[in-house]
Amino acid sequence: MTIALSIQDVHVTLGHNEVLKGVSLDAVPGEFVTLLGASGSGKTTLLNVIAGLQRVGRGHVLFDGANVERRPPRKRKVGVVFQSYALFPRMSVGENVAFPLRAARRPGAERRRIAQEMLELVDLAGMAGRTPDSLSGGQRQRVALARALASDPGILLLDEPMAALDKQLRERMQVEIKRIQQQVGITTVAVTHDQAEAMTMSDRVAIMQHGRLIQVDSPENLYRRPVNEYVASFLGEANLFPADHRGPLPAGAGGPASGTAVIRPEDLVILDAAHPADRWSIRGVVRLLSFQGSRFRLELATPEGQVVVCSLPPHAEVGALVPGSEATLGCAAPHRVHVIRASDAEPLLGVAA
Amino acid sequence: MADTPLRRGIGWYRGPVLVVALLTSLLFYLPFLVVVATSWTGTSFIIFPPQDFSLEWYSTVLGDVEWTDAFRVSLWVSAAGTVVAVVLGTLGALALARLRSRAARRWVRTLFIVPMAVPPVAYAVGLYSVNLRFAALQENLTLLILGEALLAMPYVFVMVSTGLGQADPALRPAASTLGAAWPLIVWRIDLPMIAGHMVAGAIFAFAVIFDEVVLSVFLAPIGVKTLPLQMLDASQEALSPELTAASTLVSMLAVLMLGAFSLISNRRAARARRLARKAATA
């Protein structure tokens, strides 16, 4: 059983602090949506609103079109994986996974069978008799996931699921969670502040800032067509230049800028300084060149004091790029440059301030 | 002399520190040892060092109905009082953990701990006037048991609150999203987690009630004596070795109980350590 989720203009105030300021979000059945934002942006509060652990001040939460704001958490049929996993310390792994079935008063044989199936799903078959404190961090996370899915909930909520894991395990578990989510086909909302995690797992990512959703889109669209400067620099590295509707303005040009061009490091190339092309370019002094395996990362300081980051292919000839030397950068694919128009961006930025 | 961390840490201060520690422990244990020693005496009065050696006074105490009755009354009052204290203290701690407002939590915590600070005499006088009002309460131990339970309840409350405070605050929300109603959460999540703390609180409560004498003076029905009351009376009459023999017996009982308790909790700690090691290598 999987459901469609609809959040409509939800407001939440804690004390004197307005944590959510009118959030609307829809997810189709089986979709994986990640809430991405800095800490304090309200993403965990929004997750608690869906779970029923946080009362809604104004607005609506709908599961498959039915209002659930008044429904207590235990009647919402949501599966939650908490940041700490919240495994019950005095129960075995099997009892933990079977707990939602015990709460639903299902018979013992059925409880054991489903717990067994769930543990197989998360690759922990044979661990039912262990206690949670004898498991490693990754195993605990799998148990929490199995427990959240055991009662066949309509929606799965993941609160910073990777926060307690080390980096290598994190990357493995991201793929693993995505596999399980697709196998079960359950609507999923996850919370994270790690953009790589959000992009790996999600169908769509919702960028949150100061209690509002700034942009909800596929990872690719967020990267290529951010709606404002905050989104542009939050996801990956971005170079922002003043621009008009045709593209970035030449350095030092007096013309009024009507927007901001977002040029990703991999879209910048080194131009031959002797033949300045008639297209847009930017000059600067090399600050730092570092080799990162799949690329060289070049940092350039422009005379205006802006730092420009450029990616060079790993086999590029970089002998001339010693710190302090001059270089000129141009745009590799001008048609790919995304311009944030000031008229679009301003109301959103005004809101964010 | 070896260059140990202790030596480097506090240097020559070690000497005086050790002497003070030794004197302090002597101050604790010497009077007790004197009491034990005087109970062996063959004389009919308390004398130190004891003369002769006999267990006569022990058999006197154990054979004397006044002493055994007092012991039985004390056991009953302590047991019943402990049960009431554990139930009330645990309920209070569970309620405290469920309060959302920080101000309310502070108030409730304070109100539950205050009985520790109230002088038992003031408390006893208050209850005594209740006792005078209701003739039905004068003939039995109800009011004494309730009074003692309320004096001991803060110990249970503090112990159980500590246990609940150590738990992951996400456990209860997690259980509710998994479909559990509150009775199931209390029964399957809270109680198993705090069982150890409840036992510790119960031992404290039992010890507090067993030793308590002020409430007994005011609230014990006429002709009924708790053991501390009996001891107090005995000390006011003649200082007979009966008193020290009884004291020794009670102290032995307490030492045995505490010893058994620390043995159990040591075993549990060792088991937890073993599990943690296993998880680290998994």
CATH number of A5-229: 3.40.50.300
B177 vs A78: CB contact, 8 Å cut-off? yes
Instruction: Quote the CA–CA distance of A337 and A346 in Å, as a whole number.
Output: 20
Q: Residue A349: its pLDDT value, please?
A: 40
Q: Is the dihedral of CA A7, A8, A14, A19 positive or negative?
A: positive
One DSSP character per residue, A48-93 reads HHHHTSS--SEEEEEETTEE-TTS-GGGS-EEEE-TT----TTS-H
Asked whether the beta carbons of residue B193 and residue A102 sit closer than 8 angstroms, the reply is no
- pLDDT of A268 strictly over 70: yes
- Using a pLDDT cut of 90, give the percent of chain A over it: 59
Residues contacting residue B125 through CB under 8 Å, at least 6 positions apart: B218
3-state DSSP call for residue A315?
coil
Assigned CATH topology for domain A237-340: OB fold (Dihydrolipoamide Acetyltransferase, E2P) (2.40.50)
How much is the mean pLDDT over chain A?
88
DSSP-assigned beta bridge partners for residue A5 = A27, A63
Say whether A135 and B272 touch across the interface (CB within 8 A). no
Contacts of A15 (CB under 8 A, 6+ apart): none
Q: Which of B177, B272, B276 lies closest to A80 in CB terms?
A: B177
The answer to whether A113 and A98 are in contact (CB under 8 A) is no
Would you tell me which residues 51-90 of chain A have a C-beta closer than 8 angstroms to some C-beta of chain B?
A: 51-53, 72-80, 82-84, 86, 88-90
Q: In what order do the strands lie in the sheet with A17-27?
A: A17-27, A5-14, A58-63, A66-67
Q: pLDDT tens, A114-142?
A: 999 999 999 999 899 999 988 988 999 99
Question: Are A99 and B178 inside 8 Å of each other by CB?
Answer: yes
Per-residue DSSP letters for A97-142? HHHHHHHTT--HHHHHHHHHHHHHHTT-TT-TTS-GGGS-HHHHHH
**Could you tell me if the ipTM is greater than 0.85?**
no
What's the gap in Å between the CA of A51 and the closest CA on chain B? 7
In percent, how much of chain A has pLDDT > 70? 93
Backbone phi and psi for residue A331, each to the nearest 5 degrees, phi listed first: -95, 130
For residue B241, say if its preceding peptide bond is cis, omega within 30 degrees of 0: no
Averaged over A19-32, what is the pLDDT? Answer: 95
Residue B163 · residue B194 · CB < 8 Å: yes
CB contact under 8 A, A53 and B180: no
The answer, for B177 touching chain A at a CB cutoff of 8 Å, is yes
pLDDT score of B50: 75
In degrees, rounded to 5, the angle at the alpha carbon of residue B204 between the alpha carbons of residues B224 and B249 is 55
Chain B residue closest in CA terms to A99:
B178
Strand ranges (E), chain B: none
**Helix pair angle (B191-211, B65-98), 10° resolution:** 140
C-beta separation of A138 from A169 below 8 A? yes
Beta strands at A259-263 and A338-341: parallel, antiparallel or unpaired: antiparallel
Per residue in A136-190, pLDDT tens? 889 999 999 999 999 999 999 999 988 888 888 888 899 999 999 999 999 999 9
Contact between residue B84 and residue B145 where contact means Cβ atoms under 8 Å apart: yes
Distance CA A74, CA A77 (A): 7
Q: By the 8 A CB rule, do A165 and A141 touch?
A: yes
How far away is chain A from the Cα of B172, in angstroms, using its nearest Cα? Answer: 9
Supply B68's token pair.
């055994």
Query: What does pTM read for this prediction?
Result: 0.81
Average pLDDT score over residue span A274-291 = 81
State the nearest Cα–Cα gap between A98 and chain B, in angstroms. Answer: 10
* Nearest in space to A215 (alpha carbons), one of A60, A19, A44, A23: A23
Q: Distance between CA atoms of B269 and A123, rounded to whole angstroms?
A: 31
Give me the residue spans of the domains in chain A.
Answer: 5-229, 237-340
The pLDDT profile of chain B, 282 residues, written as one tens digit per residue, is: 456 666 666 677 778 889 999 999 999 888 888 888 888 877 777 777 777 777 888 888 888 888 999 999 999 999 999 999 999 999 999 999 988 888 999 999 999 888 888 888 988 898 888 888 887 777 788 899 999 999 999 999 999 999 999 889 899 999 999 999 999 999 999 999 999 899 999 998 998 999 899 999 988 888 889 999 999 988 887 778 888 888 888 888 888 888 888 888 888 888 878 877 766 665
Total number of residues shown for chain B: 282
Check residue B265 and give its pLDDT: 82
Give yes or no for B119 touching A (CB within 8 A). Answer: no
Distances (CA, A) of A230 to A226, A316, B150: 8, 31, 60
Residues of A in contact with B189 (CB under 8 A): 88, 90
Among A86, A135, A139, whose Cβ lies nearest the Cβ of B171?
A: A86
Comparing A128-132, A204-208, A278-282, B259-263, the range with the smallest average pLDDT is A278-282
Whether residues B279 and A72 touch (CB distance < 8 A) is answered with no
Nearest to A65 by CA among A32, A26, A33: A26
Spell out which residues of chain B touch residue A148, defining contact as CB-CB under 8 Å: 178
**Rounded Cα distance, B4 and B24, in Å:** 25
A58 pLDDT above the threshold of 60: yes
Looking at residues A301-314, what average pLDDT do you find? 89
Task: Please report which confidence band the pLDDT of residue A210 belongs to, taking 50, 70 and 90 as the band edges.
Answer: very high
The whole-angstrom separation of Cα B266 and Cα A214 is 55
- Looking at chain A, which residue has its C-alpha nearest residue B274? A134
User: Cβ–Cβ of A72/B176 closer than 8 Å?
Assistant: yes
A344 vs B22: CA distance, rounded Å: 79
Residue B193 forms contact with A (CB below 8 Å): yes
